[in-house]
Structure 1
Amino acid sequence: MSSSSNFREAINQAKNQALVGPNVIANALPFVGGGLVLTAVGTYGGLFVRANNPGIFFPTFIAAFVLELILFFVAQNVAEKANNKVALPLLATYSLLSGYTLSGIVAVALGTTGVGIAGIGFAALGCGVTFIGARQIGSNLSESDGMALSKTIGLGLIALLVVMLVQVVFRMFGVYTPGWLEIGISGIGVFLFVGAAVVDFYILPRAYRDNQYLSAALSMYLTYINLFIFILRLLIAINSRD
């Protein structure tokens, strides 16, 4: 959930600012698309390793996850300085690693009756529809509405992160979330990241200059990857009920 820190930082930068990067989203979109393609490649690679060399999947998953976290903070820092020649390969590698770690939940979705490849396609379609709607709504938010929504979604993401950390701790002790609660958490996650997608179109042109398009691309990428994950989690939870 590194997206929550990225999101809060963008809100802080955008406070009381007019547009500083009117073209930053347009500049960022090709890189968001490229990152998502690389993520799909990484996911396919993870599924391949999982199917053909299951013994090495878990250790490589952990290694990829740790490296992914490190790359996020390094790439974010470099991209904010508009050092795009250095940031681009870092973000490309980050996208591939993100796909590799994403293969875990994708494998679960493929193995869940009622989800499968159709559910994965539905999650991807949901992200696309969200993008279209969010672009129209977020670009036309007033100053007061935009900041109010930004703060609300930011607080919601912090709460969601806390809940997920509690889930991880409980699982370490063999306590798993009941199905109804998992559905609720996943549904709230979907709602929050749909809201984050709307906020991106308001916040990013106020937080980043046009030449900081890779920072904007990273923020949008994280929003849609997390939305995809929570839609999948919701579908898995709904179809896994006893």
Structure 2
Amino acid sequence: MTLNSNFREAYRQAQSQDVIGPNVIPKALPFVGGGLILTALGVYGGLGVISNYPNAFMPSFWVALIAEIVLFFVARNVAEKGNNATATPILATYSLLSGYTLSAIILVALSTSGVGLPGIGIAAGGCGITFIAARQIGSNLSDRDGMALAQTVQLGLIALIVVLLGQLLFSLFGIYTPGWLEFAISGIGVVIFAGMAVVDFYIMPRSYKDEQYLSAALGMYLTYINLFIFILRLLIAINGGGRD
């Protein structure tokens, strides 16, 4: 899973900034949409590999995950410099790889009774509704409320990362999260990333200039993807798809 690791840097920059990019969000949104379309194509490709070459999926998954992490940092650095011509194909490749690695949880959702394709649609629709509401709320936050919410979300994100790392560590030793705890983690993740969606619309214009719209697009893309993942995890947990 990819967490929004540039959120803390954007929060730090926004602490002492007025609006420096009044048009950065309108410029970023088409690229967020384009990235999500490429992610869907990556998921389709990943599911195809799982279906036709199941033994090849896990090795390719780890290769894709490592490449995705590397491309994230490369894309972020290039985009922050405003070199959009170079950053665009890097972000496109990153989005495809992100979809490929997401195909694993999509397969779990498709295999879980009560989730399936409708559940995936609910997760995607829930993200869309959240972003519509978040844009209205986040764009109208006062500086005091915006920074307070950003700080709260930042602390929640740090705690969530610690829990997820612990969950991963235990799984390496064959200790898996019980269903009730997976339900709690997923629910908290949904709340945190819904809050982050609101914060994005407050922080981005204070962190990035208009020509840095790809940096803003990357941040919002990551928020959307992680919100989608946690909604999907929550649906899987509710329907007993996790380990008890």
Same fold (TM over 0.5): yes
Q: More displaced, 127-136 or 1-10?
A: 1-10
Mapping of 1:35-114 within 5 angstroms? 35-114=35-114
Partner of 1:6: 6
Secondary structure of residue in 2 paired with 1:141: coil
Query: In the superposition, relative to structure 1, how do residues 13 and 3 fare at CA in structure 2: closer, same or farther (>3 Å)?
Result: farther
Equivalence for 1:170: 170
Q: 1:178 to 1:156 in 2, by over 3 A?
A: same
What is the aligned-residue identity percentage? Answer: 69
Relative to the length of structure 1, the TM-score reads 0.98
Q: What SS does the corresponding residue of 1:5 show, helix, strand or coil?
A: coil
How far, CA to CA, are the matches of 1:54 and 1:181 in structure 2?
30
Contact 2:4–2:219 (CA under 8 A) maintained in structure 1: no
Residue matched to 2:220: 220
- Aligned letter for 1:41? L
Match of 1:169, SS?
Answer: helix
Q: Alignment length, in residue pairs? A: 242
Correspondences of 1:75-154 after superposition (within 5 Å): 75-154=75-154
Superposed CA RMSD in Å reads: 0.9
- Aligned partners of 1:13 and 1:147: how far apart in 2? 11
Counterpart residue identity of residue 175, structure 1: I
State the alpha-carbon separation in 1 of the partners of residues 166 and 215 from structure 2: 30
Contact preservation (8 Å) 1:4, 1:154: no
Question: Residues 207-232 of structure 1: CA distance to partner in whole angstroms, max 9, x if unpaired?
Answer: 00000000000000000000000000
Matches of residues 181-196 of structure 1 in structure 2 within 5 Å?
Answer: 181-196=181-196
Aligned-pair distance for 1:2?
4.7
In the TM superposition, residue 5 of structure 1 has moved relative to its aligned partner by 2.3
| Aligned residue number for residue 31 of structure 1 | 31
Offset, 1:64: 0.2
Cα pair 1:24 1:205 within 8 Å, conserved: yes
Task: Check whether the contact 1:21–1:209 (CA below 8 A) recurs between aligned residues.
Answer: yes
Query: Gaps spanning 5+ residues in structure 1: where?
Result: none
Q: CA deviation at 1:17?
A: 1.0
CA contact (8 A) 1:41 1:96 kept: yes
**C-alpha separation in 2, matches of 1:3 and 1:128:** 19
Whether the 8 Å CA contact 1:183–1:237 is kept in 2: the answer is: yes
CA 1:30–1:4: 2 relative to 1, 3 Å: closer
Q: Is the 8 A contact 1:64 1:100 kept in 2?
A: yes
Is 1:4–1:158's contact at 8 Å kept on the other side of the alignment?
A: no
- The amino acid across from 1:12 in the alignment is R
1:237 lines up with 2:237 in the alignment:
yes
Kept in 1, the 8 Å contact 2:4–2:222? The answer is: no
Q: Are the aligned partners of 2:109 and 2:120 in contact in 1 as well (CA < 8 Å)? A: yes
Contact 1:3–1:219 (CA under 8 A) maintained in structure 2: no
Aligned residue in 2 for 1:206: 206
Q: Which runs of 5+ in 2 are unaligned?
A: none
Q: Which amino acid aligns with 1:30?
A: P
